[in-house]
Amino acid sequence: MDFEQDNTRIEPPQPSEPVSYPPQGTPPADKPPKKRTGWKIFWGIVTALSILANVVLFIMLVGVVMMFFAAGQKDIFTEEVIQPGQRTTKIAVIKLQGVIDDEQSQEVYRQLKRARKDQHVKGLIIRVDSPGGTISASDQIHNEILKYRRQTDKPVVAFMQGVAASGGYYTSVACEKIIAEPTVITGSIGVMGGYFVLQELLEDKLGIQPVIVKSGLKKDWPTPFQPPTDEQRQYLQDKLINPAYERFIQLVADGRPSLALADVRNLADGSIYGAQEALDEKLIDEIGYLDDAIETLSLMAGIEEPHVVEYRRPFSLANLLSSRGEAIKLDRAALYEFTTPRVLYLWNGY
């Protein structure tokens, strides 16, 4: 039996590519996360602010260090411009304000020293607003002003504001001219002194009996442990009050050529004077304001467009902290100052 031959070739099955199956328990692959641009911006801002804050803190640290450094430099002053002008023709204003003591004296000395070194300074205005103070400090300032005038041959004008009495007037007569505001109180040419008598407090109230051993009768005069006798009062008058009083009168006569010594003595009973009365009595030269003082000094110095500056002490954090940290201490030195008589060029009505 014949069979029809089939020529169709049957291809063997091709091996299929192996299929990999994930192992059991393996989660399906996550889709790629979306870009979170919001968080990137947020952290960028935080980083920038952090850098900026560190820069600011560094600058503040440098500033604090500089302020502490400035506190230790006694001769550092800034110049506050009162009236702009030619910087080569400068007028310096030195402020004398408050009760005159040793610290005030040193401050004026340093300002005068600064002005002496500045070749552009052509004259000074001493701006006085003070009821006076201690004899020694007032005399030191008076002497330093005269020394500046002698050494530089530059004009110096006193400008009185508010109260310029006793030691305030004492320092003003060292200047060539005196200009006072219309409302000023000046004069009070004289000396005062006083101390506390503690005998009743110690003996009657506290039961404390002081014991004094001395080499001579007058060694402890005046004493706070008993009221003064007439002899002791006269002793203090002769030894303390009169010499300081005579010096005050003499320096006023020297500083005010229009007044004779006898004229000054008639005015030197401790009286205060208003501006007009002081002008009538020739204790001052002119009534006016700071602009008038600047104009007068400019004429004296021969300058037309003065650059007027006032010396100021720069802000000091160290001084601020130290002033707040001061406390009253009652020790032997404080008790000595409390009970020792102080002779003053001071108007007591301040």
Cα–Cα distance, 315 to 78 (Å, whole number): 10
Confidence at residue 211, expressed as pLDDT on a 0 to 100 scale:
86
Q: Residue 27 has what pLDDT?
A: 54
Classify residue 322: in a domain, yes or no. no
Asked whether residue 289 is assigned to any structural domain, the reply reads: yes
Residue 55 lies in a domain: no
- Count of the separate structural domains present in the chain: 1
Q: Quote the domain boundaries for residue 110.
A: 74-190+268-315+332-346
The pLDDT value recorded for residue 215 is 92
- At residue 129, the pLDDT reads 97
| CA 313 – CA 76 distance, rounded (Å) | 7
CA proximity to 133, closest of 88, 91, 171, 83: 171
Nearest Cα residue to 138 out of 79, 184, 192: 192
CA 77 to chain CA centroid, nearest Å: 10
Which pLDDT belongs to residue 220?
A: 85
User: What's the confidence (pLDDT) of residue 108?
Assistant: 96
H-assigned helices in the chain: 37-72, 102-117, 135-152, 167-172, 199, 230-236, 242-255, 261-267, 275-280, 290-301, 317-324, 332-339
Report how far residue 121's alpha carbon sits from residue 114's, in angstroms, rounded to the nearest whole number.
Answer: 10
Q: Are 168 and 129 in contact (CB under 8 A)?
A: yes
Question: What's the pLDDT score for residue 201?
Answer: 83
Residue-level pLDDT at 150: 97
In a domain? residue 25? no
Q: What is the pLDDT along the chain (350 residues), one digit of tens a residue?
A: 444 445 555 555 555 555 555 555 555 555 555 556 666 776 777 777 778 777 777 777 766 555 554 444 556 889 999 999 999 999 999 999 999 999 999 999 999 999 999 999 999 999 999 999 999 999 999 999 999 999 999 999 999 999 999 999 999 999 999 999 999 999 999 999 888 888 888 888 888 888 889 899 999 888 888 899 999 999 999 999 999 999 999 999 999 999 999 999 999 999 999 999 999 999 999 999 999 999 999 999 999 999 999 999 876 555 555 444 445 455 566 566 666 777 889 887 65
Q: What pairing do the DSSP bridges indicate for beta strands 132-134 and 342-346?
A: antiparallel
pLDDT at 130: 96
Q: Give the pair of three-digit tokens for residue 81.
A: 């411009």
List the Cα angle 218/220/222 in 5-degree steps. 90
The pLDDT of residue 47: 77
pLDDT at 87: 93
58 close to 274: Cβ distance less than 8 angstroms: no
| pTM of the complete model | 0.76
Number of other CB atoms surrounding residue 236 within 10 Å = 18
Q: At what angle do helices 37-72 and 317-324 cross, to 10 degrees?
A: 70
The whole-number pLDDT of residue 105 equals 96
Query: Residue 95's domain is classified under what CATH number?
Result: 3.90.226.10
- 5 assigned to some structural domain: no
Cα 115 to Cα 93: distance, rounded to the nearest angstrom: 9
Tokens of 3: 């069979």
Check residue 242 and give its pLDDT. Answer: 96
Q: Establish if 32 belongs to a structural domain.
A: no
Residue 95 forms part of a structural domain: yes
pLDDT value of position 70: 47
**Domain presence at residue 14:** no
Catalytic residues: 166, 219
Distance between CA atoms of residues 275 and 185, nearest Å: 7
